[in-house]
Chains A and B, each alone.
Chain A
Amino acid sequence: MDVTKKAATTWLKQQGSLGRRAAAGAILLGLFGILLAIIQAGVAAFLLRGLIKPSGTPLITLGLLFGLLALARAALSVLADSAAFTAGAAGRRRLRSEILGRLLSIGPSLLRHEHSATLSSIVVDKIEALDGLFARWIPAATLAIAGPVLVLLATLIADPLSALILALCGLFVPVGMAAAGIGAAAASRSQMQAMTRLQTRFVDRMRGIGTIVLAGRAESEAEALKLAADDLRRRTMRVLRVAFLSSAALDCAAAVALVAIAIEQGRSLLTPGDAPGIARALFLLLLVPEFFAPLRAFALAYQDRMSGLAAAEAVVALPPTTQDGAERGIEPPATAPQTVAAHGISIAFEDVHLSWDKARGKALDGVTFRLPAGGTLILAGPSGAGKSTVIEILLGFVRPDSGKVLLNGIEISSIVPQALARLTAWIGQRPVLFATSIRENIRFARPEASAEELDEAIRLAHVESFVADLPDGLDTLIGEGGYGLSGGQAQRVAIARAFLKNAPLLLLDEPTAHLDPATEAEVLDSLNRLALGRTVIMVSHSAQAHLLSGRRLNIVAGRLQQGERSGVA
């Protein structure tokens, strides 16, 4: 944790220096506003003096001046607030793109460790939490020193003793804040964690809400949610208690300053009719709130910094991008699909070992095979034997612990994942469908595809046969996770995607698992056509898998079965 904390602080510092330039406007405007407030307090004092004992400057001028200064201060605060918003928005925009870009570039391996809702809360909520860092903390940190110093100087000119009182009370503020703020960072972090936990649990349960309700467990799940919500409340209160304590310390300091100055001025003013004295007293008392205002803003913004720090820890804890390890830029000789289609892609596994989780044993235990360009390989075997792992490796989602995987003779780990993805079309066991129309879900594979290409893919995947019955046809909206479609229909949408993608390497992970035998035969027939001129690996334990012509290999417990290995290699 200490390493993370350190890295987070460093990261925050970097962000600070990036944000400071954007915050310069807000800082200058804030300083100018404080200056005007001092002048205005002076004008008010002169005004009072003039009222008691008429003197040189006409009251109307002073009144007008007071009004003008008020207008100028209002305008400045509007501008400063606007500048702060702009700085906050710019900071969030930059970071959100950066973080999401990073998640996208690390890719699916992230999901093995983190729930998608946890990741998404980093991109949404934790970045939102950083707004205060750019919008408030950075300007407030500068103004908290410059502002009170300015006010103090003005007080010093009017009455040194009052200045001393203010200075002493001012010095108490950081001490009080520090005392109140012990553990503030920990409290912020734990609040943010509670929030993320609540979100993750909620999203996970929502996705399976039907399962919960049908099992009659909605009430106990509600109880669990109540615990999470209560936990969040307690942790939020802990953060707020710190904030309120430090604000109470401020209140206290301000009250002491006010009372002390009032008494000091009151005692020296026992002689009635002392107009300059009363005016000076008013001036000094008016400056007390101005002295504490920047400190108050600082105390508030300190919370922003704490939540910023907590957010930064989540950001820093993300794994580095996979590309960082790979030699960038080296792409297989055949990057453009056309050239690849001509030459094809050959695949070789050489003594590949891989375990997803050390404690759980090996998923692949010395797998060796060779598949020539344009060849078709059908991997069979009991579920959990490691068939899907072969596909995962070829997709670049995971790297073997040892052994070599070669594409056209090139080590797969040296290929940029995105470049690898370009070569591959894939049908997974659990296709992710988005909440949009069926058409858009298929076009996701290649948005720039022409209408003819889309029609062709739809026909080959036998999407037509069920779409024809739907009232809105291809434009029928489906829900998240394919709601509204049966398992088999969702599968065919995924198959249509693979057809549309039109890549030289086809990786099929149980493509027909949810289909009835008749549809399965039709789809396999289409796949046979798609397989022409491409390299295909299909994982399947369907009895009909033989309909796809190609070599068969059995994987059992991470090993290719003896007899058949030689036949292929």
Chain B
Amino acid sequence: MTEILRIFALWRGRFGWMAAGLVLSLLALAAGLALMALAGRMTAAAVTLGVLAAPILLRLTGVARVVLRYLERIITHEATFRALADLRLWFFRNLAAGAAGGLGFRRSGDVLSRLVSDVEALDGLYSRILVPVVGALLTLLLLLLVLGAQDAWLALIVGVLFAAAAFLLPWLAARATAAAGQRLAEAISALRVSVLDAVSGLREVRVFGAEGRMLAAVQAREANLLAAQRQVAGYARLAQAGSFLCAQAATLAVLLGAGAPPAAAVGAAFLTIAAFEAIGGLPRAGALAGYAIASARRVLGAVAEPLIAPDPPEPAPLPRETGLRFEGVHFRWQERRAAVLDGLTMDIAPGTRVAILGPSGAGKSTLAALALRLAVPEEGRILLGGADIAGLRATDLRSRIALLSQNTHLFDDTIRANLLLARPDADESALWAALDAAQIGDMVRLLPDRLDSWVGEGGLRFSGGQGRRLALARVLLSPAMIVILDEPGSGLDLETEQAFLTTLNALGRGRTFILIAHRLLGVEKLDRIWRLSGGKAIAAAA
């Protein structure tokens, strides 16, 4: 339940809409009940209201009911979908806050399922549970009043039956489906993951003849989903049938119990029928509540992990100086694994070009992760312009440092949009300058759509080397004063790599370039070379 309350707390901004929907819904309900009660009385010879008054009232309530019902539905759904859109946005923001290092072990299909299916599962909380429950309370009161005026016992019996249908059965259904609802939420996610695996891995699947295996995996996930759905649907229809029987028993009781005068009996019978009809959706909604609660847990849970390096409560101002200093840094990726950096100390003066060399696994990429605060050293500290980066706001720090990593991603968008990611206000000439520096300008010029050419999923429409150079251009475009290039030449042919490194020599005076590589080609003009070995940095001749 706490999850549900937290979700509602996130919907604070939509309480106005929700309240409006609730009021309209109550009005529509009142009109509906009045219509049914009046129709019943009318039939019984219009004893109480008179022949002329009743038809007019009937027409009025009839029209009011139709109009109010329509408005109510529009407003409650508008409230719901606004709240859902808010929730999706909140989800993304919080997810992004903790995902500077990528999704990690989270699977994109699962995260997607939380954003899509789990958020969607919450759509009934307000419009199918909260609103009808409030309506049911009101209806119960009305039933007791009207029937109680005729016969206290009858009012009690109908009241109990109504409460059972409106509150007890949905609550029982919600309890019964708690486990199945959880399974349902997980099964949808698992299905998405397996389908996304099969589809994004279409090449691997074809080459390794895994079509049958992938299909079987998806079918197995689907079977789980269907089983969970079947279970939830089973409880829902039992609750529904139970509610139907309560309504029938109440109708019978009213018919038998109201007795003479028949006018009252028919009127009461119709009121009862209308009252039960108004809560007809609750049992099913109750059966889906288990799913909604599980989904709420999944939505909140995805962003609940504590950040690796949260911003300090009072971040220091970003220093103007851009010198980078590693001071006695110890680091290991996991506790059980050996230390990657073991008391590393290294100074990178502002505006210099340095290379950091070493075999794979020496901790070269780790340095970049530490500088961007994607990871935190166990011991020692990292200083930017003399300030410990642990005391800075992460977004400030990252505005100073641009990184081309092994995992730099190309988005399924145009070349332009991909480049502008680094500097949204860059003009056309800056884009071309960056592309030229990355040795890809000529290729882009030959494309019919030039900067507006579509890159494709993960850069699929370009070769590996071309994609790498587009990513390179993006990093060069960035206004950051420190540029870290982790293996910029991987996937490039020798001539291109040489040409790029030569261009780099003439690029952006005042910016710091940190080149991370297995080896040097000899064309680089460097101020300093560090070699990583045994978790320490050893200065080599430049």
Contacts and interface: CB of A to CB of B under 8 A. Distances in A.
Contacts of A97: 215, 218-219
Nearest to A66: B252
A483 B493 contact: no
Nearest to A422: B209
Contacts of A387: 463
A220 interface: yes
A497 B203 CA distance: 13
Contacts of A221: 92, 96
B463 A213 contact: no
A383 B204 contact: no
Contacts of B334: 471
Contacts of B93: 218-219, 222
Contacts of B107: 435, 479-480
B449 to A, nearest CB: 8
Nearest to B54: A266
A182 interface: no
Contacts of B464: 383, 388, 429-430, 509-510, 513
Interface string A321-361: 00000000000000000000000000000000000110111
A518 B360 CA distance: 9
A255 B218 CA distance: 48
Interface in B103-124: 103-109, 111-112, 115-116
B260 A470 contact: no
Contacts of B238: 78
Interface in B478-532: 478, 487, 490-496, 518-519
Interface stretch (A226-234, A301-309, A312-320, A452-460): A226-234
Interface in B165-217: 188, 191-193, 195-211, 213-215
A445 interface: yes
Contact of A120 (B199, B207, B219, B405): B199
Contacts of A269: 43-45
A360 B447 contact: yes
Interface stretch (B19-27, B59-67, B147-155, B312-320): B59-67
A225 B58 contact: no
A258 B411 contact: no
B306 interface: no
A209 interface: yes
A190 interface: no
Nearest to B237: A81
A516 B518 contact: yes
A205 B458 CA distance: 10
Interface stretch (A20-28, A196-204, A404-412): A196-204
B89 A483 contact: no
A406 B96 CA distance: 50
A454 to B, nearest CB: 14
Contact of B256 (A59, A271, A514): A59
A172 interface: no
User: B204, B238, B460 — which one has the most chain A CB atoms within 10 A of its CB?
Assistant: B204
Contacts of A108: 202-203, 206
B82 A233 contact: yes
A108 B211 CA distance: 12
A421 B206 contact: yes
Interface string B433-456: 000000000010011110000001
B465 A217 contact: no
A218 B96 contact: yes
A220 B395 CA distance: 13
A153 interface: no
A396 B413 CA distance: 27
B96 A222 contact: yes
A417 B116 CA distance: 35
Contact of B45 (A77, A204, A266, A356): A266
Nearest to A81: B237
A383 B58 contact: no
Contacts of A59: 256
Contacts of A267: 51
Nearest to A218: B96
A487 B490 contact: yes
For the residues of B in contact with A, the DSSP-based class is helix
A241 B71 CA distance: 10
A399 interface: no
Interface stretch (A46-54, A141-149, A528-536): A46-54
Interface string B232-270: 011001101100110011011001100110100110011
A229 B89 contact: yes
Interface residues of B, number: 160
A429 B491 contact: yes
A518 B359 contact: yes
A209 B95 contact: yes
A464 interface: no
B138 interface: no
User: A115, A203, A226 — which one has the most chain B CB atoms within 10 A of its CB?
Assistant: A203
B43 A282 contact: yes
B204 A432 contact: yes
Contacts of B197: 434-435
B323 to A, nearest CB: 21
Interface stretch (B4-12, B222-230, B347-355): B222-230
B510 to A, nearest CB: 20
B201 A434 contact: yes
Contacts of B466: 383-384
B237 A52 contact: no
Interface string A79-96: 001100100010011001
A393 to B, nearest CB: 14
Contacts of B463: 383-384, 387-388, 429
A209 B99 contact: yes
B131 interface: no
Contacts of B403: 214
Contacts of B44: 266, 269, 278, 281
B416 interface: no
A35 interface: no
B421 A487 contact: no
A383 B465 contact: yes
A188 interface: no
A501 interface: yes
B95 to A, nearest CB: 7
Given A67-B252, A205-B411, A215 B43 contact: no
B163 interface: no
20 contacts: A48-B266, A70-B245, A93-B219, A103-B198, A104-B202, A104-B205, A107-B202, A211-B408, A226-B85, A237-B74, A237-B78, A240-B77, A262-B39, A265-B43, A272-B47, A275-B262, A278-B43, A289-B277, A359-B448, A435-B193
Given A93-B219, A278-B44, A421-B208, 9 more contacts: A63-B252, A77-B241, A107-B206, A110-B202, A206-B95, A211-B411, A266-B45, A469-B337, A479-B103
